[in-house]
């Protein structure tokens, strides 16, 4: 197990390096931060722009800039934002908890809803309950997340005035963003749980468990669900990684102060230190989740651990 974990950690570090290198190169193709900072400042000479680039460290070769970023990241010195000079660590320290809370709450809601609904659809295969659950999941898959987010704001904030329309102010602010992401995730997860359980329920060990007189609840949740959990764990882990990277649309609609909003603003402002730090941290979190998924395989199925 130790050798396996060491190999995965080394591979993960190479993935993070590749991602940050690509992002660092790509963002420099989008424009000059010095021009962005001097917009509306009147007549600016090329000498003025050169002084700004030198102050920001942009006059150095690309790989020197990238090496300085990596050195600062390893030593936890993320530098300062080009806009206002705020330490990047301060910006990330405020945005990261907000994104993690939203992603975890959305995924938890999805798991809580999708597992019992998926099992019910598998057990009641072909009956009205199965058909209703499948229709609801299909509707959920048809909703774009930005459209669902705007409809929730229109209904719960503008029409009913039950929930705040945006921001992160108290527990009520979590409800609409969590529901938006949770509903869309549940629509996919229900279908996956149903398919997995249909295959598992036809296995011989399930018939043996029922022949022993075990209750249907024990058969479904302790035997069938656990033995079919490997693809579910894999997909839930991938979903969490996707949430971290793709939650920017929902954060923008609800003005959620998370990593997606921070990255979006950094791209618009050509703020290299902020964007590179955000991408690097999110990459580390995603590969970390994938590593935890691999460890969870051995916990759920001891045969994998022995292999």
Whether 151 and 54 share a structural domain? no
Query: Looking at the predicted structure, is the pLDDT value of residue 294 above 80?
Result: no
User: pLDDT tens digits, residue range 106-127?
Assistant: 888 988 998 889 888 888 888 8
Range of the domain at 45: 2-74
Confidence band for 136, pLDDT divided at 50, 70 and 90: confident
Q: Is 85 a domain residue? A: no
Q: What are phi and psi of 87, to 5 degrees?
A: -55, 135
Query: Looking at the predicted structure, is the pLDDT value of residue 105 above 60?
Result: yes
| pLDDT at residue 40 in the model | 63
Mean pLDDT throughout 282-303? 73
Q: Is 81 a domain residue? A: no
Between residues 160 and 215, which one has the greater pLDDT? 160
Q: Is 159 a domain residue? A: yes
| pLDDT at residue 42 in the model | 63
Mean pLDDT throughout 123-142? 84
Q: Is 184 a domain residue? A: yes
| pLDDT at residue 300 in the model | 60
Whether 223 and 125 share a structural domain? yes
Query: Measuring CA to CA, how many Å separate 46 from each of 19, 34, 54?
Result: 33, 10, 12
| pLDDT at residue 301 in the model | 59
Whether 126 and 39 share a structural domain? no
Q: Is 141 a domain residue? A: yes
Query: Looking at the predicted structure, is the pLDDT value of residue 246 above 70?
Result: no
Instruction: Judge whether 38 and 51 are in contact, CB under 8 Å.
Output: no
| pLDDT at residue 298 in the model | 62
User: pLDDT tens digits, residue range 250-275?
Assistant: 888 888 888 888 888 888 888 888 88
Of 74, 109, 129, the position where a domain reaches its end is: 74
User: pLDDT tens digits, residue range 139-194?
Assistant: 887 878 788 888 888 988 888 888 888 877 778 888 888 888 888 888 888 888 88
Percentage above 70 pLDDT, the chain? 93
Whether 164 and 32 share a structural domain? no
Instruction: Judge whether 180 and 149 are in contact, CB under 8 Å.
Output: yes
Q: What is the pTM of this model?
A: 0.78
- Domain tally for the chain? 2
- Distance (Å, rounded) from C-alpha 246 to C-alpha 243? 5
| pLDDT at residue 86 in the model | 87
- Distance (Å, rounded) from C-alpha 92 to C-alpha 38? 25
Mean pLDDT throughout 47-74? 85
Q: What is the mean pLDDT of the chain?
A: 82
Domain CATH for 99: 1.10.3720.10
- Most confident segment among 31-35, 151-155, 227-231: 151-155
Ranges 15-19, 61-65, 238-242: which has the least confidence: 238-242
| pLDDT at residue 4 in the model | 67
Confidence band for 208, pLDDT divided at 50, 70 and 90: confident
Confidence band for 304, pLDDT divided at 50, 70 and 90: low
Whether 153 and 192 share a structural domain? yes
Q: Is 142 a domain residue? A: yes
């Amino acid at each position: 197990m130790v050798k396996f974990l060491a190999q995965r950690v080394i591979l993960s570090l190479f993935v993070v390096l590749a991602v940050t290198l690509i992002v660092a190169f790509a963002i420099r193709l989008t424009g000059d931060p010095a021009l962005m900072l001097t917009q509306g400042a009147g007549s600016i000479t090329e000498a003025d722009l050169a002084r700004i680039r030198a102050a920001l460290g942009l006059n150095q070769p690309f790989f020197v800039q990238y090496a300085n970023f990596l050195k600062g990241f390893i030593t936890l010195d993320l530098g300062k934002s080009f806009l206002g000079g705020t330490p990047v660590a301060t910006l990330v320290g405020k945005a990261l908890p907000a994104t993690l809370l939203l992603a975890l709450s959305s995924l938890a809601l999805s798991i809580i809803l999708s597992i019992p609904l998926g099992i019910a659809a598998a057990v009641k295969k072909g009956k009205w309950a199965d058909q209703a659950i499948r229709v609801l999941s299909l509707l959920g898959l048809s909703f774009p997340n930005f459209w669902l987010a705007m409809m929730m704001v229109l209904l719960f904030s503008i029409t009913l005035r039950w929930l705040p329309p945006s921001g992160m102010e108290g527990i009520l602010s979590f409800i609409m963003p969590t529901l938006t992401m949770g509903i869309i995730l549940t629509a996919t997860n229900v279908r996956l749980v149903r398919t997995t359980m249909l295959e598992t329920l036809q296995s011989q060990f399930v018939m043996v468990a029922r022949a022993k007189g075990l209750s249907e609840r024990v058969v479904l949740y302790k035997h069938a669900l656990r033995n079919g959990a490997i693809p579910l764990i894999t997909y839930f882990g991938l979903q969490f990684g996707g949430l971290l990277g793709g939650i920017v649309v929902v954060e923008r609609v609800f003005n959620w102060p998370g990593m997606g909003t921070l990255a979006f603003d950094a791209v618009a402002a050509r703020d290299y230190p902020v964007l590179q730090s955000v991408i690097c941290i999110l990459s580390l979190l995603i590969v970390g989740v994938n590593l935890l998924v691999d460890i969870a395989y051995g916990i759920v199925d001891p045969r994998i651990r022995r292999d």
